[in-house]
Amino acid sequence: MATRGFTGRRPTAAFARRLPPGQFETDDFPVLAKGPTPRVGLSSWRFTLSDGPRPLATWNWAEFSALPRTVWQGDIHCVTKWSRFDTTWEGVSIDDLLAAAGVAPPTAYLLALSHDDYDTNVPAADLLDGRAMVATHFDGQPLDAEHGGPARLLVPHLYFWKSAKWIKGLRFTQRDEAGFWELRGYHMRGDPWRQQRYSDDP
């Protein structure tokens, strides 16, 4: 994944270029979730890649921790209008997951599935070519449970509701199937640069 770090003072033009329309910058890291934080123990943690109902590969925590790791630094954008610059994440890229499973993407869409019965749909193209990871670390530390630890999806170029916390698997689907927030009026793709907030946004 590309690192686009800025150092020192932010030139105004560069700052403006980094902030998608309708967003404001914050140094906070707000916690947002539809319900209470599920506590997922590492001994029972599993991550399953599946093609519809058919499992393609499953990793336990030790196996997952042995996969190649990627560090990504950049900006994240929540549909509630906060953006945070220069966040640092570490985990396993979706490209490396597919390579470890020895599979090519069987369909063009996925659902990310979580331990709190949350799910969210993402086009496969948005997860490939270094654009997304299953993140286990934030700022060099194991990811806090509030922010999705032990592991969450990170799709930083889409609104942050696509970055499913407490992820337990990725399921390829034949169609683009709406997830939790998409069924409740949020956009099927959620590109912050196009302000794809609600389902009828273009």
Ligand X SMILES: Nc1nc2c(c(=O)[nH]1)N[C@H]1C(S)=C(S)[C@@H](COP(=O)(O)O)O[C@H]1N2
HEC assignment per residue over the chain:
CCCCCCCCCCCHHHHHHHCCCCCEECCCCCCCCCCCCCCCCCCCCEEEEEECCEEEEEEEHHHHHCCCCEEEEEEEECCCCEEEEEEEEEEEEHHHHHHHHCCCCCCCEEEEEECCCCEEEEEHHHCCCCCCEEEEEECCEECCHHHCCCCEEECCCCCHHHCCCCEEEEEEECCCCCCCCHHHCECCCCCHHHCCCECCCC
Which of 148/192 has CB closer to ligand X?
Answer: 148
- Applying CB under 6 A, the residues found at the interface with ligand X are 29-34, 78, 114, 116, 118, 147-148, 160-161, 163-166
Q: Taking CB under 5 A as the rule, does residue 32 contact Mo ion?
A: yes
- Residue 147 beta carbon to Mo ion: minimum distance, rounded to whole angstroms: 13
Stretch 100-159 residues interacting with Mo ion (CB under 5 A): none
Which one of 47, 161, 172, 180 is in contact with Mo ion (CB under 5 A)?
Answer: 161
Q: Does 82 bind Mo ion (CB under 5 A)?
A: no
Distance CA 69, CA 96 (A): 8
Query: Which residues inside 171-200 make contact with Mo ion, applying CB under 5 A?
Result: none
CB of 146 to ligand X, least distance (A): 6
What is the smallest separation between the CB atom of 15 and ligand X, expressed in angstroms? 22
Considering the complex, state which of residue 103 and residue 145 has its C-beta at the smaller distance from ligand X.
145
CB-nearer residue toward ligand X: 31 or 62: 31
C-beta closer to Mo ion: residue 22 or 68: 22
For Mo ion, the binding residues (CB under 5 A) are 32, 78, 161
